[in-house]
């Protein structure tokens, strides 16, 4: 997300925000890799144990808690990359690049609001799980561990949607020719990433 390259930000603030963003995204990637490796190893051991007619009590419980982290950190990383699903029906009604950017900005703020609502309910659920001491049946792992992934994932996704909304509003101030060239280059980049 290139929003922190705006000329209106002081160089020190821009460097801080960009550096912090790189650290957060790097942490997300690291969590995703570690969680994927742990899940793969756990499933491998589960298959081996079942072939030997054995079972490791609580392994499924453990994997379930880890999969929740995979899912919700994946949600936030998808929001960062802009690879989340969008229902952009507005392109059927207008091809005006400025209008499209304005509408994408509006949709970004709506997405931010929805994600912040999810953050609110995730925090309430997290606090409830802590207050009642909810734990898994076999391993006794606090459910707050899994619910924390909701809070973190939704918080990061809401931030990324907010940044994306501001970017689209800023882009809507460009000239029509600049926007059309930008969209053409963006489409070519996405096709290249998809291997087409």
The 10s digit of each residue's pLDDT in 49-95 is 888 887 777 788 888 889 999 999 999 998 888 877 776 777 677 77
Query: With contact defined as beta carbons under 8 Å apart, do 105 and 166 qualify?
Result: yes
Nearby residues of 138 by Cβ (< 8 Å), 6 or more positions away: 57, 58, 61
Using an 8 Å Cβ cutoff, are 65 and 146 in contact? yes
CA distance 17 to 9: 10
**Could you list the residue range(s) of the whole structural domain that residue 166 is in?**
3-193
How far apart CA 150 and CA 74 sit, in angstroms, is: 11
- For range 23-47, the mean pLDDT: 91
Residue pair 163/1 in contact (Cβ under 8 Å)? The answer is: yes
Confidence (pTM): 0.77
pLDDT tens readout for residues 113-134 = 999 999 999 999 999 999 999 8
Could you give the number of structural domains in the chain?
1
**Confidence label for 47 from pLDDT (cuts 50, 70 and 90):** confident
């Amino acid at each position: 997300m290139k929003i922190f390259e705006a000329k209106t930000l002081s160089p020190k603030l821009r460097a801080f925000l960009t550096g912090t963003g790189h650290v957060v995204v790097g942490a997300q990637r690291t969590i995703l890799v570690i969680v994927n490796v742990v899940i793969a190893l756990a499933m491998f051991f589960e298959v081996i144990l079942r072939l030997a007619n054995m079972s490791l009590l609580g392994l499924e419980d453990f994997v379930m808690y880890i999969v929740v982290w995979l899912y919700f950190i994946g949600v936030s990383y998808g929001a960062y990359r802009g690879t989340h699903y969008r229902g952009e029906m507005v392109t059927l009604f207008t091809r005006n690049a400025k209008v499209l950017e304005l509408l994408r900005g509006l949709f970004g703020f709506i997405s931010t609001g929805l994600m912040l609502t999810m953050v609110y309910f995730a925090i309430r659920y997290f606090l409830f799980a802590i207050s009642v001491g909810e734990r898994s049946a076999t391993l006794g792992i606090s459910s707050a561990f899994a619910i924390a992934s909701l809070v973190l994932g939704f918080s990061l996704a809401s931030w990324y949607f907010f940044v994306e909304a501001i970017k689209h509003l800023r882009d809507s101030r460009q000239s029509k020719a600049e926007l059309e060239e930008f969209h053409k280059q963006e489409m070519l980049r996405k096709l290249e990433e998809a291997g087409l």
